[in-house]
Amino acid sequence: MGDFTIQISANLVNRLAEDGEKLKKKTKKTKTKISREPRQPQTKVNQKQVLDDPKTQKGDAPPGWPFQPPLFLPVSPSAQSAELDAIRSVLQESERVLEKLNKQEKNMVQEVTERAKTLHDQEFKLPYQKPLPCLAEKEASEACYKESIKDPLKCHRLLKNYADCSRKARQLVSSTN
């Protein structure tokens, strides 16, 4: 299986968070339907004139104007409190959802950080290295030469053991390839 690395930067995390916020803010736009029937010319009428006009007060609109109900209807105090309670409950629910999302985000950031650290450690971990063959014989012959600088012939037997071990190791390597 091939080796690969994943790099996760703070910039990437920030961009992902911003994209999520943008998706939340987008609202569905509705297109207004345009009537293909020709419009009748309307006369300009001052709003004060319409309100003062006795025909408008009876419920009749001036010619060319559709009838419109009053913009603000009186609301009873119980209806207002019910509406406020509904708004409060929706607000509380959205706050709970926000807290839950923030907790999930923290957990995900922690998990991604741990995974990135693990991958980083695996990437730079040295592979298993086999110990050098004949290391003990080599060290023994070197120590002998250091001790008997004036008479190096004393180390002849240790040097012969090291040479034999090296030869066997080379033969072993060449036979496995």
- 152 and 122 fall within a common domain: no
pTM for this prediction: 0.30
The domain of 142 spans: 135-176
Q: Contact, 139 vs 160, CB < 8 A?
A: no
Domain count, the chain: 2
- Residue 70 — very low, low, confident or very high, per pLDDT cuts 50/70/90? low
**Pair of tokens at residue 9:** 């930067």
- Residue 136 — very low, low, confident or very high, per pLDDT cuts 50/70/90? very high
Q: Taking 90 as the threshold, does the pLDDT of residue 1 lie above it?
A: no
Q: Of the candidates 132, 130, 133, 156, which has an alpha carbon nearest to the alpha carbon of residue 145?
A: 156
For residue 113, being part of any structural domain is answered with: yes
For residue 95, being part of any structural domain is answered with: yes
* Greater model confidence, 68 or 76: 76
Question: Residue 81 — φ and ψ, nearest 5°?
Answer: -65, -35
For residue 108, being part of any structural domain is answered with: yes
For residue 58, being part of any structural domain is answered with: no
For residue 40, being part of any structural domain is answered with: no
Average pLDDT, the chain: 77
- 139 and 113 fall within a common domain: no
- 90 and 112 fall within a common domain: yes
- 113 and 139 fall within a common domain: no
